[in-house]
Amino acid sequence: MAPAHGNVGTKLDATDARVCMLQLRDQVLRGLRAGKTTDELAVSVTMDAYKDWDSYANWRELNVRGMAKYLMETGQVN
């Protein structure tokens, strides 16, 4: 795997990254459907299982906000 950022990884790294994104999607979607705002989700969706990943602290909030925007813009919230 050769991601846009970070080190070249293995097939397992690609699987882990996909699982992480699916879990992020599920958490953000549940929150949006429950009526939470993007600001509330940016605080409450912590993805703690991935806190040891490189750049977790730098990207977690941006990933939550980006996922919320994507889900809303593509009509997946309703």
The pLDDT of residue 3 is above 70: no
pTM of this structure: 0.89
Instruction: Check residues 39 and 3 and name the one with the higher pLDDT.
Output: 39
User: pLDDT band at 76, cuts 50/70/90?
Assistant: very high
CA distances from 53 to 1, 28, 34, 57, 72 (A): 16, 20, 28, 9, 27
CA distances from 58 to 10, 34, 72 (A): 23, 26, 23
Rounded distance between C-alpha atoms, residue 1 and residue 15, angstroms: 10
Q: Which tokens hold the place of 10? A: 């293995």
pLDDT digits 0-9 by tens, 6-53: 677 888 988 999 999 999 999 999 999 999 999 999 999 999 999 999
